[in-house]
């Protein structure tokens, strides 16, 4: 999905930042999970399940954000995606991109 949501003009840089952010958040989860799971207070009150419930809640929040804000991309060209995202964000679509999208349609 990452390669489909960024416009062609910034795709390489944006993908590098997005993949770096994914690796960083994966690192944070990997480091925080054992700390939460071994915390004496949390272990006593939640029987070791706090970290599971926390990450389950965060996953559900992420699911709602994806369902609400991420458009379906199956069968949609990259140019059409760029145009749709620009409209959704209230930005003007560059004339060259709009012309290319119409020519490819």
Question: Which residues, in sequence order, are CB contacts of 5 under 8 Å at separation 6+?
Answer: 70, 73, 81, 85
With respect to residue 35, please indicate whether it lies within any of the assigned structural domains.
Answer: yes
- Tell me if the pTM is above 0.75: no
Tell me, what's the pLDDT at 74?
79
With respect to residue 105, please indicate whether it lies within any of the assigned structural domains.
Answer: no
With respect to residue 22, please indicate whether it lies within any of the assigned structural domains.
Answer: yes
pLDDT tens digits for range 44-61: 898 888 988 998 999 999
With respect to residue 94, please indicate whether it lies within any of the assigned structural domains.
Answer: no
The whole-angstrom separation of Cα 22 and Cα 28 is 10
Residues in the chain: 105
With respect to residue 96, please indicate whether it lies within any of the assigned structural domains.
Answer: no
- Domain count for the chain, please give it: 1
Q: 67 is in which domain, residue-wise?
A: 8-89
């Amino acid at each position: 999905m990452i390669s489909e949501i960024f416009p062609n003009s910034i795709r390489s840089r944006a993908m590098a930042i997005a993949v770096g952010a994914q690796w960083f958040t994966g690192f944070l989860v990997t480091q925080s999970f054992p700390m939460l799971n071994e915390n004496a207070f949390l272990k006593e009150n939640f029987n070791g399940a706090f970290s599971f419930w926390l990450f389950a809640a965060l996953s559900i929040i992420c699911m709602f954000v994806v369902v609400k804000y991420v458009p379906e991309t199956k069968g949609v060209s990259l140019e059409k995606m760029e145009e749709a995202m620009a409209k959704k964000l209230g930005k003007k679509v560059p004339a060259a991109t709009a012309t290319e999208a119409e020519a490819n349609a």
